Structure 1
Amino acid sequence: MEKTFQFDTSVNQIALEANNAKDALKKISSLLYDFGYVKSTYPEAIITREKSFPTGLPFEKCGIALPHTDCCHVNKPMISISTLKTPVVFKNMGDASQDVSVKMIFMLAMKKSENQLQLLSELMENLQDNILMENLLQAHSSEELTKLMSGRITV
């Protein structure tokens, strides 16, 4: 089975500066666009979807967001990983009335909707690994983020 998702150092970021969740989403999605992974419609689509279907998740080590949108906005599958210099507030995926202070964002550019469930399942399993999360939060380069996550997603 062909592996669908990968990590590209050029779209991973350390200590991204963002004023709020929308600003973070714009910056990360624009980077995915600049490297050809997504279409010009992707940045607005990801922001719009986040309003209706929030993606913030509280974990032991830190809050994490898993923003994604429809496959029609994607050219090639990719997962962008960004740690934030200062946490920003996302709404909780399970209860939109709750805020989650997010320190790390995994932005998903999915080309095949049938992979979504398996991808999210594999990501959730990895995000519960406190040692991995600590290492990701302490990473000093986008290369280190890529190395830490490489081989962990088998979709």
Structure 2
Amino acid sequence: MSNEADTIFYDVVMLRNVTTKEAAIHSLSEYLLKKGHVNEHYEHATIEREDTYPTGLPTKPIAIAIPHSKHENVIKQSVVLGISDQLIEFSEMGNSDSKLNVGILFLLALKGENGHINYLKNIVNYCKVEENIEKLYGVKSAEEALQIFVAEIVNAD
């Protein structure tokens, strides 16, 4: 994925006092909308998709979620990492009856399924390691999180 780094926008948003998955997706989607990276349908489509196909993963010690929308809502490919100071309830991928306390979100705004699959693989591989989750969730700033995100997840090939 390193060669895609020039064509995909990466950033981090520190989520403060966000307590629902809808509010978390809203904050991250709104950030991309203001930058002109997604259209006005992206947020609603992402929340709708999350309700139908949950993206929460039971990583330890804190769960993650990887919400995304269809490619037609994407203007400029982007991946935004959201780190929340509050744990947010998401349903578990593949088991919507199971609820997870999510503190880290990766909002994907990508074109084509291959992009999603590659990112999902890198994110899941990184987040399988408990120490990685602790390090990422323990960052003090968006800049620190972005450095970890790009170096250890995006360029993980």
Deviation of 1:132 (Å): 2.3
Q: Distance in 2 between matches of 1:114 and 1:58?
A: 23
Q: Is the 8 A contact 1:58 1:100 kept in 2?
A: yes
Match of residue 153 from structure 1: 154
Q: Is the 8 A contact 1:132 1:148 kept in 2?
A: no
Match of residue 62 from structure 1: 62
Deviation of 1:32 (Å): 1.2
- 5+ residue gaps in structure 2? none
- 5+ residue gaps in structure 1? none
Match of residue 30 from structure 2: 30
Match of residue 142 from structure 1: 142
Deviation of 1:130 (Å): 2.4
Q: Distance in 2 between matches of 1:131 and 1:51?
A: 29
Match status 1:20 vs 2:20: yes
Compared CA separation, residues 60 and 19, structure 1 to 2 (3 A) = closer
% identity of equivalent residues: 25
Q: How many residues align?
A: 152
Trace 1:44-59 onto structure 2 (pairs within 5 A).
44-59=44-59
Q: Deviations over 1:91-115 (max 9, x none)?
A: 1102011101111111111123222
Q: Distance in 2 between matches of 1:119 and 1:146?
A: 15
Trace 1:93-108 onto structure 2 (pairs within 5 A).
93-108=93-108
CA RMSD, Structure 1 to Structure 2 (Å): 1.7
Q: Deviations over 1:34-67 (max 9, x none)?
A: 1122111111111111110011111112011100
Deviation of 1:128 (Å): 1.4
Under a length normalisation based on structure 2, what TM-score does the superposition of the two structures give? 0.89
Amino acid at match of 1:20: T
Under a length normalisation based on structure 1, what TM-score does the superposition of the two structures give? 0.90
